[in-house]
Amino acid sequence: MIFEGKTIVVTGGTGSMGKTFVRRALTGELGTPRKVIVLSRDEAKQHDMRMSYLHKLVATDEVIYRNFMNVLEFRIGDIRNYADVCSAVKNADIVVNAAALKQVPACEYFPTQAVLTNCVGAANIVRAIEENGYPVDTVIGISTDKACKPVNVMGMTKSIQERIFTAANILNPKTRFICVRYGNVLASRGSVIPLFHDQIKNGGPVTITVPEMTRFLLSLDQAVDTVFAALREAKRGETYVPNAPSATVMNIAKALISNRNIKIKITGIRPAEKMHEIMVSEEEAVRCVKRGDYYVIRPMLPEFMDGEVQQMNALNKEFSSADTVLDLSGTSALLKEHGLMAEDVDLQNSGELLR
């Protein structure tokens, strides 16, 4: 039970994945933590999250509510600020770095801001542990498929975050630095599904960039499952990748529209977008092993090579969202499974999925 009696810091803990991670950590499924600290800079989101536990408006049980009263702590602070990071992580056993600027267009227009959050923020965690000797057992960085062969600022900064954490293992032998990398999270804040819901609610049109564009899809709980798997099993410097399905944006739109009389408008590819995302590159495939339901990318630095080198080459090519694409019925079934079809969602309040 890896969380039993542990102090867990979640940077960006008021985001979609962060909130789901916190909720599940508080259930005790991996042991009852001593403390869960949410570090973020948005006081309004922290207030909403605190109230959701107090009024039990989230999908929860008595274990979460009882633990919340003594265990969950909110701290206003910024991952970019070294002093804030030091204050938060000095007594932590596990640090989950979910703080990020992750909107592709925003990062393109404000690349310096993306660097400060996604790169300098990660470096602040490493620096805090290294310079102060904090007894942190594990740091896990939350990355994205856009970090693989990146073409946009968001992906580039996330790729550097991965390298910052991988290299941190060299000079910090008492702390395990690992990462997870996954694709689009269904209904996460800023993702395409809430946008489509809103467009459907307003009678359309539903706007898509390029019909053939594909994206990996997984639920918030599957994203957290990936983090849990890495925390349980990952070795220093490794990156865990879920074997996730993919779908075309056209089929996502058609599945959500269903039989409604709503038009689809093609807007064209946006700046810095890929037609297909890659979860594991061709170069990384030669360092890839399979563990359970996950691909694991072994670090390229020679200091991390061990006996598992013989088990590499779990993939013989890059792992692309174009490889195995769900058809329309498969896409509909996936969205239905996670309660995201328009008829399953109160479109007037679909934003509640994100708060």
What pTM did the predictor assign?
0.91
Structure tokens at 93: 């056993």
Given pLDDT bands bounded at 50, 70 and 90, which one contains residue 351?
very low
Indicate the number of domains in the chain: 1
Assigned domain for 1 exists: no
Query: Which residues are within 8 A (CB) of 51 and not within 5 positions of it... i.e. 6 or more apart?
Result: 57
What confidence tens digit (pLDDT) does each residue in 312-343 have?
Answer: 678 989 999 999 899 999 999 999 998 887 66
**CATH, residue 131:** 3.40.50.720
Across the range 255-277, mean pLDDT stands at 92
121: nearest Cα among 96, 146, 94: 96
What confidence tens digit (pLDDT) does each residue in 195-219 have?
Answer: 899 999 999 999 999 999 999 999 9
Assigned domain for 2 exists: no
DSSP 263: -
205 prior amide bond cis, ω within 30: yes
Per-residue pLDDT at 355: 32
Assigned domain for 182 exists: yes
Assigned domain for 302 exists: yes
Three state DSSP letters for 132-199: HCCCCCEEEEEEEHHHCCCCCHHHHHHHHHHHHHHHHHHHCCCCEEEEEEECEECCCCCCHHHHHHHH
Assigned domain for 309 exists: yes
Q: Would the pLDDT of 64 be above 60?
A: no
Per-residue pLDDT at 65: 53
Given pLDDT bands bounded at 50, 70 and 90, which one contains residue 226?
very high
Residue that wins the pLDDT comparison between 192 and 332:
332
- The domain of 86 spans 7-353
Per-residue pLDDT at 339: 84
Per-residue pLDDT at 272: 86
Rg (alpha carbons) of the chain, rounded to whole number: 20
Given the structure tokens 């809430």, which residue do they identify?
194
Residues involved in catalysis: 146
What confidence tens digit (pLDDT) does each residue in 141-173 have?
Answer: 999 999 999 999 999 999 999 999 999 999 999
Assigned domain for 238 exists: yes
Percent of the chain with pLDDT over 90: 75
Assigned domain for 218 exists: yes
